[in-house]
């Protein structure tokens, strides 16, 4: 079935360093969504990208959708301890459902 | 608060037993999704309902079943439970299939 591959699985950074997680698909995606799950919490929707080459920013977070609509990235500038959590990308499945990547777990050392 | 309510919060039961997890979607949302999350694992899609009808099916075991009722709440039934079924079960809702999901706080199931 359809899959979205997400790398890296884990990322440990020093506070203030940048962080990037990547999401890749073998098929063209109609859209991609990003979610954040804090430790002990539930996934929370961050953003949806729809257009080829789209770039969206939320404060220190920058989201990109590839030109071919097969990949996406989330970049955090100057990480803070509040950024700790697991970041998931999710893409629409063939049945209209949402398929999640395995996530990137970010830890930030103060 | 996402507006999605899941009960119970925690469930501890023995192997071979059957449990029912309940989800009330956000007001106005017609789609309900069920996901399973094992320790340090991703979100495994189980099943989706839209306005009472099954819309999509993922890697849901035959021992598991779900339904969405006319008032749009949903129940996930897990039977003949095994130790490996221990996980966090999330319900999520959305307006439609392509819309962002709003997750409940999850039900943590422990099978002993």
**pLDDT tens digits, one per residue of B84-97:** 999 999 999 999 87
Long-range contacts, A59-67 (Cβ 8 Å, 24+): A63/A34, A65/A32
Q: Are B94 and B74 in contact (CB under 8 A)?
A: no
Q: CA–CA distance from B28 to each of A95, A107, B71, B94, B96 (Å)? A: 22, 36, 11, 8, 10
pLDDT of residue B99: 87
Q: Are the Cβ atoms of B45 and A93 closer than 8 angstroms?
A: yes
Give Rg (Cα) of chain A. Answer: 13
- C-alpha span between B34 and B38 (Å, rounded): 13
Residue pointed to by tokens 């989201």: A63
- Mutation target to probe the B interface, by most B beta carbons within 10 A, among A98, A102, A106, A107 is A98
Q: What is the pLDDT along chain A (110 residues), one digit of tens a residue?
A: 568 999 999 999 999 999 999 999 989 998 999 999 999 999 999 999 999 999 999 999 999 999 999 999 999 999 999 999 999 999 987 777 888 999 999 999 99
pLDDT of residue B40: 67
The answer for residues whose C-beta is within 8 angstroms of residue A73's C-beta and 6 or more apart is A20, A21, A22, A23, A63, A64
The answer for residues whose C-beta is within 8 angstroms of residue A65's C-beta and 6 or more apart is A32, A49, A50, A51, A52, A53, A54, A55, A71, A72
Contacts of B105 in chain A (CB under 8 A): 41-42
In this complex, the residue of A48, A88, A97 whose CB is nearest that of residue B45 is: A97
Q: Could you tell me whether strands B74-78 and B87-94 are parallel, antiparallel, or unpaired per DSSP bridges? A: unpaired
- C-alpha span between A88 and B79 (Å, rounded): 29
- Mutation target to probe the A interface, by most A beta carbons within 10 A, among B1, B43, B51 is B43
Residue of A nearest to B108 (CA): A40
Contacts of A99 in chain B (CB under 8 A): 45
Tokens of B84: 């490996």
* Mean pLDDT, rounded, of chain B: 94
Tokens of B86: 């221990």
A-B contacts at Cβ under 8 angstroms: 61
- C-alpha span between B111 and B59 (Å, rounded): 20
pLDDT of residue A1: 59
What does the H/E/C string look like for A63-102?
Answer: EEECCCCCEEEEEECCCCHHHCEEEEEEEECCCCCEEECC
Q: Is A13 helix (H, G, I), strand (E, B) or coil?
A: strand
Q: Is B85 helix (H, G, I), strand (E, B) or coil?
A: helix
Q: Are the Cβ atoms of B90 and A93 closer than 8 angstroms?
A: no
Tokens of A8: 């890296």
């Amino acid at each position: 079935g359809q899959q979205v591959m997400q790398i890296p699985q884990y990322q440990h950074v020093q506070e203030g360093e940048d962080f990037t997680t990547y999401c890749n698909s073998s098929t063209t995606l109609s859209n991609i969504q990003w979610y954040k799950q804090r430790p002990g919490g539930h996934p929370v929707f961050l953003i949806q990208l729809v257009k080829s080459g789209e770039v969206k920013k939320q404060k220190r977070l920058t989201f990109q959708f590839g030109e071919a609509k097969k990949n996406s990235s989330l970049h955090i500038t100057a990480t803070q301890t509040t950024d700790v959590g697991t970041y998931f990308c999710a893409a629409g499945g063939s049945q209209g459902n949402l398929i999640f990547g395995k996530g990137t777990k970010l830890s930030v050392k103060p | 608060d996402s507006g999605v309510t899941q009960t119970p919060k925690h469930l501890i039961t023995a192997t071979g037993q059957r449990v029912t997890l309940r989800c009330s979607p956000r007001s106005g949302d017609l789609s309900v999704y069920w996901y399973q999350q094992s320790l340090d694992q991703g979100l495994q899609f189980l099943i989706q309902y839209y306005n009472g009808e099954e819309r999509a099916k993922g890697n849901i075991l035959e021992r598991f079943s779900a339904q969405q009722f006319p008032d749009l709440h949903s129940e996930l039934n897990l039977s003949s439970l095994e130790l490996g079924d221990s996980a966090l079960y999330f319900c999520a809702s959305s307006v439609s299939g392509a819309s962002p999901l709003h997750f409940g706080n999850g039900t943590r199931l422990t099978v002993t």
